[in-house]
Amino acid sequence: MSKLTALFRKALSASTSSNTSNTPKADPLEVTASNESNTPKEQTRWNGWGNININKEVSPHGAKLIKSHIGKTKKLSSVTLESVIKTVPPSRLPSALTDLEIVSTDSEVRVRHARGQSFPDWIAMHSGDFGVFPDGVALPKTTEDVEKLLALAHEHDLVVIPYGGGTSVAGHINPPEDSRPILTIAMSEMNQLIDLDKQSQIATFGAGTQGPAVESQLAKQGYRLGHFPQSWELSTLGGWIASRSSGQQSLGYGRIEQMFAGGTLVTPQGVLEIPDIPASSAGPDLREMMMGTEGRAGIFTEVKMRVQPQPEQEIFKVVFLPNWEAGQTVLRQAVQGNIRLSMLRLSNATETDAHLHLGTTRSQFLAITAYLRSRGLGSEKVMLTYGVTGEKEQNKLALSQFKQLLKKHGGVGGKIADLMGSIWAHGRFKFPYLRGTLWEKGIMVDTFETSTNWSNIDEQMAQMEAAVHNSLTHQGEQVMAFTHISHVYKQGASLYTTYFFRAGKDHASTLGRWKKIKHAASSSVANGKATISHQHGVGRDHAPYLIAEKGELGLKTTASMIESLDPEKRMNPGALLDD
Amino acid sequence: MSKLTALFRKALSASTSSNTSNTPKADPLEVTASNESNTPKEQTRWNGWGNININKEVSPHGAKLIKSHIGKTKKLSSVTLESVIKTVPPSRLPSALTDLEIVSTDSEVRVRHARGQSFPDWIAMHSGDFGVFPDGVALPKTTEDVEKLLALAHEHDLVVIPYGGGTSVAGHINPPEDSRPILTIAMSEMNQLIDLDKQSQIATFGAGTQGPAVESQLAKQGYRLGHFPQSWELSTLGGWIASRSSGQQSLGYGRIEQMFAGGTLVTPQGVLEIPDIPASSAGPDLREMMMGTEGRAGIFTEVKMRVQPQPEQEIFKVVFLPNWEAGQTVLRQAVQGNIRLSMLRLSNATETDAHLHLGTTRSQFLAITAYLRSRGLGSEKVMLTYGVTGEKEQNKLALSQFKQLLKKHGGVGGKIADLMGSIWAHGRFKFPYLRGTLWEKGIMVDTFETSTNWSNIDEQMAQMEAAVHNSLTHQGEQVMAFTHISHVYKQGASLYTTYFFRAGKDHASTLGRWKKIKHAASSSVANGKATISHQHGVGRDHAPYLIAEKGELGLKTTASMIESLDPEKRMNPGALLDD
């Protein structure tokens, strides 16, 4: 044990020093006054994830494991930013727009706002085949600016794309082919805490505020929002609301639906003020009607968020259980038993094995697997990460109740539980960086996710993994897939599947492979009792599959609601609704 | 103390014996297999509240207190059921409807489905001036029956009024004047538990199931819904969902929004199946879009509800605090501090005094006020009712944390806390019966309610009480008003004001008084940062005030959404939207 502990201490110290220097702090509890504004666009990668100063390495035996599934890989070529800039066509925006100080038609700015983080976006950004660029990017500073922009959009018949952090993995912010000029409205200048009502615990923010800037501005006053999606480093309040985001600690803090209290939505038909009332029986809830409209109904400019005092204590732990059945039983009983945890995450056996490879050195891996084997956990073992957040006395009861539950189902933690928990917490926002590292090795990675009832969890997971696993068999290609649950509810849980395949001979053939996998993946969800997305939203990539979930009538009702606010269909056409 | 305790024990034993015989058990923990179906219509009062076998007396010194505020009163006259039946006009329904076995045009049935429980409804039921009766009442047994009825409604151009328990206090189910024949669809035959998925804790019910039948059917299998609005004895699942109801234990179990997982809504445009998914980011939530549509979009036929195991333990207690400020601080700190209570209710000083009068004998009243005075609590004292529900270890922590908080703010409970808590629990669904008793004395009573942020609670309460208090001054009439908080959220709380005034010389003048008070009451809410209803819904009575909350654009968006499902505006016209 002492050797094992030492190995993990080393890993922890590595993860908190060199990799995070010069960057927004990865751990929200460490946010400081030094990063109260958004990350400047020039400090983010133009063709990949995150801050240009951050990298995350893949262990050699981790890469080897993946290749043992998918075969030998070869790196795809990448174009330069300069070469892409040269392909940007002249702007079609009228002078009424280009004359505005808040509108830029600079080619680099247009490139940097043309794509998100979906797999097709990465192919576009590395092949240089962008297709469509926005004709200009507006950076409004006030609600009135946005009103003016939408009025001009009407007057000059523009298409408008609302842009938050540009982190969509489902094609939310991609300008579509359209005969009308396209104006992307990027909300990054509206990034400040405007008001904090401490008695009602309501914070008013500019909707373009990114995760770290939200938390650092609140932390200065002793408060926290608690919304930590994987994209937290770059994604924004407005984006979270418009796409119904869910953060890693949704068990404790709730989804964005529970946090969003109201605010200002600028629509083509005028300003919709959504009142911040604690609860109401006065008809359908405007908050809930507008959340998830993905820019189709308008643009959130100022938002009122339910915040909470900084927690007295926060602890994350990692434990292992003998198998998936034991793991998911623990999750279900914990949430249905009201044990006050702030987070629960369970990797299935394949993901557990992969994470143990990817996140460790060879010697760490051998030490931990040997230790777990000595405790009776073999190849079916699953990794469970959990957290408590809040008042110490409440945490103490929650930890004691949860430990009893773990013990009953064969959980193994011990000293490594805290150490691995700390490693997870310090590295929690760095996983997206792995994608670039793997890309450089010719290993393509993508994810898809859903949620379903507990009675359907096993069946749904099996369908999802089988679907992607078999999707390229006809081409003789292997797809590696594994899954975790990261959000639990009394009724059911999320399922999040990661898959790996190898790049084709060029960008086009690689994208062709992805399209086949993606269709198989989306169909496995659409054909199940499950949602097409639990946390990524619909965007353009999932829109064709939404009908399976909402039905024809459900989609028609949604479209009618949206059309009443955007009768000219100029707001983000093609997102959400497959029109 | 022992004298006081004895007095309360006596009260408790009285409240649990004679008054509740022959009736559905008032305490949900005592529901049994004996009342698995809805209360038959003929066992409910045709012109007042509840079961014909239940009465609730008013103490003489309670009635005296009210009269000391409003003056001497005189009883209004009441017509007989027989005389009203004679006024029912011939049905305008075509034979395609009247030939159906599930449709009744019997005059008594039409009378019994013509009105709810609003003040104007009581005036109508006692004066005999009903105005409009439904032309017939359908009692569908299946979703297909409802589909067929809506198809016939389209074919024969009918107005349709969905009817649950008939408990609306805002005019939801009142047939409007219309040149089209009016068909009321009463859901009382669809009153059974259809399926229980214990793993996912999802129960599927017929939407017409009343509160006691919901709980007794679930209790047989060890489960509980936990939705206990004041109307629980008669109101239904479908009604709760359609009007966004909130129950007394919303703090523990959530509002109906948290319980409703999905289900079948039959609309004029077809069947909308709302999937029961734990959580989703796939666009606006159909559940939330349809909850609160108040029958305008369609009729819920089968509903999937999130249920929970019966609690291991449930305790209610009543304590007193020195003043309102102390009381509301305790409520706010408890909910914001995540203390796991299932219920919190705080009466202001006037309500506390009135409840102590109304719910006690003179000797009990003197004993308890003397005791509280000996503990330093005078005329500003406020009464706080709280509950814990769930697992014993969690309850223990919650009680210990809450008692600390109470102590800090001067709370006084002692032995009477448990006794008064039990009295409250056993009488919790009998308060609506008081209205009839007071009516017989010429004392008119009504309530209105809202919710607002904590930072606005005091101001809002002051505005509401002043508005009704002063509303009849120009007539030389006094209105007595008091308020409680019965639902708390981190962001704010509900405010529920009860007011008393005396009957006029006849029904018309009494209704005239009420209209003045109601307008003052509704305006005090509409002009504040508050919702026109936290738990009663909009109906026809609140519809004119909804625009203050939703804005013109918000109302237009809601109307568009609804119109896409009911383009011919035949579903419950006039409810929710003031059209």
- For residues B409 and B335, membership in a common domain is answered with yes
pLDDT at A352 over 50: yes
B24 known member of a binding site: no
In a domain, A206, yes or no: no
Contact between B306 and B261 (Cβ < 8 Å): yes
Q: What is the mean pLDDT of residues A135-142?
A: 98
Considering only CA atoms, which of B482, B52, B445 is closest in space to residue B233? B52
pLDDT at A574 over 60: yes
Q: Between residues 333 and 352 of chain A, which touch chain B (CB distance below 8 Å)?
A: 336-338, 340
Q: Between residues 434 and 463 of chain B, which touch chain A (CB distance below 8 Å)?
A: 451-456
Q: What is the mean pLDDT of residues A280-296?
A: 98
User: Residue A167 and residue A565: Cα distance in Å, rounded?
Assistant: 25
pLDDT, chain A, mean: 94
CA distances from A19 to A15, A16, A248, A432, A440 (A): 6, 7, 22, 14, 19
State residue B464 phi and psi, 5-degree precision.
-65, -45
pLDDT tens per residue, range B189-209: 999 999 999 999 999 999 999
pLDDT tens per residue, range B373-405: 999 999 999 999 999 999 999 999 999 999 999
Quick one: tokens of A126?
Answer: 């590395």
User: Residue B477 and residue B466: Cα distance in Å, rounded?
Assistant: 14
State residue A163 phi and psi, 5-degree precision.
-135, 125
CA distances from A385 to A1, A370, B81 (A): 20, 20, 66
Confidence at residue A477, expressed as pLDDT on a 0 to 100 scale: 97
- Residue B534 C-alpha, separation from nearest chain A C-alpha, in angstroms: 4
pLDDT tens per residue, range B60-112: 999 999 999 999 999 999 999 999 999 999 999 999 999 999 999 999 999 99
- For residues B327 and B351, membership in a common domain is answered with yes
Confidence at residue B415, expressed as pLDDT on a 0 to 100 scale: 78
Nearest CA in chain A to B397: A394
With pLDDT > 90 as the criterion, what percentage of chain B qualifies? 89
In a domain, B473, yes or no: yes
Contact between A241 and A305 (Cβ < 8 Å): no
Contact between A360 and A64 (Cβ < 8 Å): no
Judged by DSSP in three states, A92 sits in coil
Confidence at residue A158, expressed as pLDDT on a 0 to 100 scale: 98
Quick one: tokens of B514?
Answer: 């009420």
In 10 A of CB B439, how many CB atoms?
A: 20
Determine contact: A224 vs chain B, CB below 8 A. Answer: no
Q: What is the mean pLDDT of residues A453-477?
A: 97
Quick one: tokens of B129?
Answer: 């001036």
pLDDT at A335 over 50: yes
In a domain, A569, yes or no: no
Of B401, B428, B455, at which residue does a domain stop? B428
Of B428, B446, B477, at which residue does a domain stop? B428
- For residues A328 and A404, membership in a common domain is answered with yes
pLDDT tens per residue, range A142-197: 999 999 999 999 999 999 999 999 999 999 999 999 999 999 999 999 999 999 99
- For residues B422 and B315, membership in a common domain is answered with yes
Quick one: tokens of A443?
Answer: 């290993």
Confidence at residue B29, expressed as pLDDT on a 0 to 100 scale: 46
Identify which of A270, A493, A561 has the shortest CB distance to residue B560. A561
Contact between B25 and B31 (Cβ < 8 Å): yes
With pLDDT > 90 as the criterion, what percentage of chain A qualifies? 89
pLDDT at B554 over 60: yes
Confidence at residue B10, expressed as pLDDT on a 0 to 100 scale: 65
Determine contact: A257 vs chain B, CB below 8 A. Answer: yes
Find the domain containing B407 and state its range: 2-17+311-428
Contact between A339 and A402 (Cβ < 8 Å): yes
Considering only CA atoms, which of A308, A362, A291 is closest in space to residue A200? A308
Judged by CB atoms closer than 8 Å, whether chains meet at B453 and A200 is answered as yes
- For residues B384 and B334, membership in a common domain is answered with yes
DSSP string, B487-543: -B-SSEEEEEEEEEEE--SSHHHHHHHHHHHHHHHHHHHHTTTB-S-SSS--TTTSG
User: Residue A302 and residue A143: Cα distance in Å, rounded?
Assistant: 7
User: Residue A76 and residue A492: Cα distance in Å, rounded?
Assistant: 40
Identify which of B401, B532, B556 has the shortest CB distance to residue A564. B556
DSSP string, A119-165: HHHHHHHHH-------SEEE---SHHHHHHHHHHHHHTT-EEEEESS
- DSSP letter for A210, please: B
Quick one: tokens of B65?
Answer: 């207190």
- For residues B363 and B420, membership in a common domain is answered with yes
Considering only CA atoms, which of A89, A86, A97 is closest in space to residue A134? A89
Strand segments, DSSP code E, in A336-470 are: 343-347, 382-390, 443-453
DSSP string, A485-534: E--B-SSEEEEEEEEEEE--SSHHHHHHHHHHHHHHHHHHHHTTTB-S-S
Confidence at residue A32, expressed as pLDDT on a 0 to 100 scale: 43
Q: What is the mean pLDDT of residues A366-387?
A: 95
- For residues A349 and A361, membership in a common domain is answered with yes
Q: What is the mean pLDDT of residues B164-168?
A: 97
pLDDT at A308 over 70: yes
In a domain, B282, yes or no: yes
Considering only CA atoms, which of B269, B259, B273 is closest in space to residue B302? B273
* Beta-carbon contacts of residue A71 (< 8 Å; ≥ 6 apart): A477, A478, A502
- DSSP letter for B571, please: B
pLDDT, chain B, mean: 94
Task: Give strand pairing partners of A252.
Answer: none
User: Residue B465 and residue B462: Cα distance in Å, rounded?
Assistant: 5
User: Residue A188 and residue A190: Cα distance in Å, rounded?
Assistant: 5
Side chain identity at A348, as an amino acid letter? N
Determine contact: A300 vs chain B, CB below 8 A. Answer: no
In a domain, B166, yes or no: no
pLDDT tens per residue, range B99-109: 999 999 999 99
Q: How many domains does chain B have?
A: 3
pLDDT at A384 over 80: yes
Judged by CB atoms closer than 8 Å, whether chains meet at B533 and A244 is answered as no
Quick one: tokens of B56?
Answer: 């609730």
Confidence at residue B9, expressed as pLDDT on a 0 to 100 scale: 65
- β-pairing, A103-104 vs B443-453, is unpaired
CA atoms within a 13 Å half-sphere pointing along the CA-CB vector of A176? 22
Task: Give strand pairing partners of B370.
Answer: none
- Residue B337 C-alpha, separation from nearest chain A C-alpha, in angstroms: 8
State residue B388 phi and psi, 5-degree precision.
-125, 145
Of these residues, B253, B386, B433, B496, which one is catalytic?
B496
Side chain identity at A319, as an amino acid letter? V
Considering only CA atoms, which of B101, B97, B93 is closest in space to residue B133? B93
- Residue A210 C-alpha, separation from nearest chain B C-alpha, in angstroms: 19
- For residues B497 and B531, membership in a common domain is answered with yes
Please, which pLDDT band fits residue A12 given cuts at 50, 70 and 90? low
Please, which pLDDT band fits residue B34 given cuts at 50, 70 and 90? low
Quick one: tokens of A450?
Answer: 């859903």
- β-pairing, B159-163 vs A313-321, is unpaired
Asked whether the CA dihedral A310, A311, A317, A323 is positive or negative, the reply is negative
Of B373, B398, B428, at which residue does a domain stop? B428
In a domain, B37, yes or no: no
Give the domain CATH number at B250.
Answer: 3.30.465.10
User: Residue A522 and residue B335: Cα distance in Å, rounded?
Assistant: 41
Judged by CB atoms closer than 8 Å, whether chains meet at A546 and B292 is answered as no
Chain B positions in Cβ-Cβ contact with residue A337 (cut-off 8 Å) = 391
User: Residue B328 and residue A546: Cα distance in Å, rounded?
Assistant: 45
Q: What is the mean pLDDT of residues A464-484?
A: 97
Confidence at residue B36, expressed as pLDDT on a 0 to 100 scale: 83
pLDDT at B16 over 80: no
Quick one: tokens of B364?
Answer: 């009990």
User: Residue B294 and residue B296: Cα distance in Å, rounded?
Assistant: 6
Q: What is the mean pLDDT of residues A405-411?
A: 98
Question: Counting beta carbons within 10 angstroms of the beta carbon of residue B34, is it exposed (0 to 12), middle (13 to 18) or buried (19 or more)?
Answer: exposed
Give the domain CATH number at A359.
Answer: 3.30.70.3450
In a domain, A473, yes or no: yes
- For residues A382 and A476, membership in a common domain is answered with no
User: Residue A548 and residue B434: Cα distance in Å, rounded?
Assistant: 50
pLDDT tens per residue, range A538-553: 999 999 999 999 999 9
pLDDT tens per residue, range A188-226: 999 999 999 999 999 999 999 999 999 999 999 999 999
In the annotation, is A386 catalytic?
A: no
User: Residue A95 and residue A109: Cα distance in Å, rounded?
Assistant: 18
- DSSP letter for A177, please: P
Quick one: tokens of A213?
Answer: 């800037």
Quick one: tokens of A16?
Answer: 């908190």
CA distances from A457 to A130, A336, A536, A550, B287 (A): 38, 15, 19, 20, 22
DSSP string, B445-466: EEEEEEEEEGGGHHHHHHHHHH
Determine contact: A403 vs chain B, CB below 8 A. Answer: no
Considering only CA atoms, which of B466, B569, B483 is closest in space to residue B520? B466
Chain A positions in Cβ-Cβ contact with residue B394 (cut-off 8 Å) = 338, 397
Confidence at residue A23, expressed as pLDDT on a 0 to 100 scale: 37
Please give the radius of gyration of chain A, using alpha carbons only, rounded to the nearest integer: 23
- For residues A500 and A477, membership in a common domain is answered with yes
Q: Which of A424-438, B164-178, B451-465 has the lowest mean pLDDT?
A: A424-438
Helices A507-526 and A119-127, axial angle in degrees (round to 10): 170
User: Residue B154 and residue B158: Cα distance in Å, rounded?
Assistant: 7
Please, which pLDDT band fits residue B578 given cuts at 50, 70 and 90? confident
- β-pairing, B182-186 vs B136-138, is parallel
Judged by CB atoms closer than 8 Å, whether chains meet at A557 and B531 is answered as no
A247 known member of a binding site: no
Interface test with chain B among A264, A447, A534, A557, by most B beta carbons within 10 Å: A557
* Beta-carbon contacts of residue A319 (< 8 Å; ≥ 6 apart): A383, A384, A386, A406, A411, A412, A413, A417
Q: Between residues 521 and 560 of chain A, which touch chain B (CB distance below 8 Å)?
A: 529-538, 542, 546, 549-551, 553-554, 556-560
| A-B contacts at Cβ under 8 angstroms | 291
Most confident of A29-33, A431-435, B36-40: A431-435
In a domain, A297, yes or no: no
Give the domain CATH number at A479.
Answer: 3.30.300.330
pLDDT at A20 over 60: no
Of these residues, A253, A496, A499, A545, which one is catalytic?
A496
- For residues B288 and B315, membership in a common domain is answered with no
Please, which pLDDT band fits residue B28 given cuts at 50, 70 and 90? very low
Judged by CB atoms closer than 8 Å, whether chains meet at A272 and B245 is answered as no
Side chain identity at A140, as an amino acid letter? P
Chain A positions in Cβ-Cβ contact with residue B242 (cut-off 8 Å) = none
- 3-state SS of B193-227? EEEEECCCCEEEEECCCEHHHHHHHHHCCCEECCC
pLDDT tens per residue, range A228-242: 999 999 999 999 999
pLDDT at A114 over 50: yes
B542-546: long-range contacts, CB 8 A cutoff, minimum separation 24? B542/A282, B542/B170, B543/B574, B543/B575, B543/B576, B543/B577, B543/B578, B544/B578, B546/A282, B546/A283, B546/B576, B546/B577, B546/B578
With pLDDT > 70 as the criterion, what percentage of chain A qualifies? 94
- For residues B235 and B293, membership in a common domain is answered with yes
Please, which pLDDT band fits residue B574 given cuts at 50, 70 and 90? very high
User: Residue B485 and residue B462: Cα distance in Å, rounded?
Assistant: 13
- β-pairing, A193-197 vs A202-206, is antiparallel
